[in-house]
Structure 1
Amino acid sequence: MTTIQVLGTGCRKCVQLKENVETALKQSGVQADVQKVEDINEIVKFGIMSTPALAVDGEVKIVGKVASVDEVLNVINP
């Protein structure tokens, strides 16, 4: 199963990105384990300096913005 991680400390933008991910998953029918990573030490391990960010199976795909539902769909359905 695919693991999708929303990286961010819990700000409004991070919450919106998680909602967009969940909407994209519902629209696509893709099964995934969605995780919210809020621990700054864990976020730093991904090598990103700007949140929110989105990682799929441990690989950072989007950094520093709230990806739209369509952008998330493009990431999870390449």
Structure 2
Amino acid sequence: MIIKILGPGCANCHNLEKNTRAALADSGIEATLEQVTDYGEIAGYGVMKTPGLVVDEEVVVSGRVPKPAEIAELLAARA
């Protein structure tokens, strides 16, 4: 599983990464976590409001920071 955090490095982007790492740790799901900060690449995913969460090239969340439990549910559905 490849997970990408889309955003310029703002506080919400860091919070999304922190929550995603917590969700991975709690669920035991193994994944590669990447940061995408290039605006062109972010726009290529159709995300106009960051942060964004991409799982295996599918945008699952954009414009908000979900709690770790919600992220764990999203990841479990794709594992």
Do both proteins adopt the same fold according to a TM-score greater than 0.5, normalized to the shorter chain?
A: yes
For the aligned residue pairs, the C-alpha RMSD in angstroms reads 0.5
- For structure 1, list consecutive stretches of 5 or more residues without a partner in the other structure: none
Over 4 Å off, 4+ runs: none
Deviations for 1:18-37, whole angstroms, at most 9, x for unmatched residues? Answer: 00000100001100000011
Matches within 5 A, 1:48-67: 48-67=47-66
Q: How many aligned residue pairs are there?
A: 77
Percent identity between the aligned chains? 38
Q: CA deviation at 1:74?
A: 1.0
Q: With structure 2 as the length reference, what TM-score do the two structures score?
A: 0.95
Q: With structure 1 as the length reference, what TM-score do the two structures score?
A: 0.96
- Paired position in structure 2 for 1:30: 29
- For structure 2, list consecutive stretches of 5 or more residues without a partner in the other structure: none
